[in-house]
Structure 1
């Protein structure tokens, strides 16, 4: 494992911890899209089907368990916790995420590296993760005013994917035959979706103002 991969994983983990901190400590999920959290739960559930069959390392297994447990915990909090769910902005979180799931599944059935159940599900998780942030970004655009923890959560998610792209570039030049087009294209699409958010995030940081996205 190289430094960029480790930094990406730690940034991803930090994004989850920031979100759990917001939900568990403040008892609020204001500004957080339940639709995006449900999509991430599906992403991890379909990606880590090999968790009990293919052992790679303790680190790998630990990270898989962390992301599985945290994603489903967040969904549970937002759906079932009496206090937390009161702050959920259902009125603005109306993105039809089924229109993301079905096309990604169909695409995975058509374009994959190997037509087996686990491989198709893994490919589906890549396609779905690439667009899973869309409901969250749409929600932020509709509400416009974004609290610090929500802004940090989305920024860390985007930074995690950007670091993974650097990791792939590094591995391409240091490892022979390291070519994964599906992973690369999906990751690039996902990172590009954060472009607008990154711009306004750095603008707010530079000017020391509250983060706002244009409607």
Structure 2
């Protein structure tokens, strides 16, 4: 594992910690899209089907368990916890996220590295992860004013994807025959979706003002 992959994993982990901190400490999920969290839970559930059948390393297994457990616990808190769910802005979080799932399923059935259940599910998880942030970004545009923890959460998610892309570039030039078009293209799409958010995030830091995402 190279430093870019490790930093990407840690950034991804930090994003989860920030979100859980907001939910557990403040008892609020204001500004957080339940639709995006449901999509991420589906992403990890389909990607880590091999968690108990293919052991790679203790680090790999622990990270898989963390992301699986955290994603489903976040969804549970937002839907079931009496205090937390009151802060969920259901009226604004109306993106029809299920319409993202079917195209990803069809794409995974057609474009995959090997036509097996595990490989198709892996491809599906990559395609879905690429667009899973869309409901969250739409919600931020609708609410406009973004609190610090929500802004940090989305920024860390985007930074994780950028670091993974740097990791792929590094491996392409340092490892022979390292070519994986599916995660590369899915990762590029996902990174581009963050471009607008990154612009306003860094603009707010530069001007020392609260983050606002224009509609």
TM-score range, shorter chain: over 0.9
Aligned residue for 2:127?
A: 127
User: Alignment partner of 2:154: what SS?
Assistant: helix
Q: What does 1:12-23 align with in structure 2 at a 5 Å threshold?
A: 12-23=12-23
Deviation, structure 1 residue 64: 0.1
Aligned residue for 1:28?
A: 28
TM-score normalised by the chain length of structure 2:
1.00
Q: Runs of 4 or more off by more than 3 Å in structure 1? A: none
RMSD of equivalent CA atoms:
0.3
Instruction: State the Cα deviation string for residues 27-50 of structure 1 (Å, max 9, x = none).
Output: 000000000000000000000000
Aligned length: 215
Q: What does 1:136-147 align with in structure 2 at a 5 Å threshold?
A: 136-147=136-147
Distance 1:97 1:110 in 2: 21
Distance 2:188 2:60 in 1: 23
Is 1:199 matched up with 2:199? yes
Aligned residue for 1:38?
A: 38
Q: What does 1:61-210 align with in structure 2 at a 5 Å threshold?
A: 61-210=61-210
Deviation, structure 1 residue 91: 0.3
Is 1:52 matched up with 2:59? no
Q: Which ranges in structure 2 are unaligned for 5 or more consecutive residues?
A: none
User: Alignment partner of 1:153: what SS?
Assistant: helix
User: Alignment partner of 1:115: what SS?
Assistant: coil
Q: Which ranges in structure 1 are unaligned for 5 or more consecutive residues?
A: none
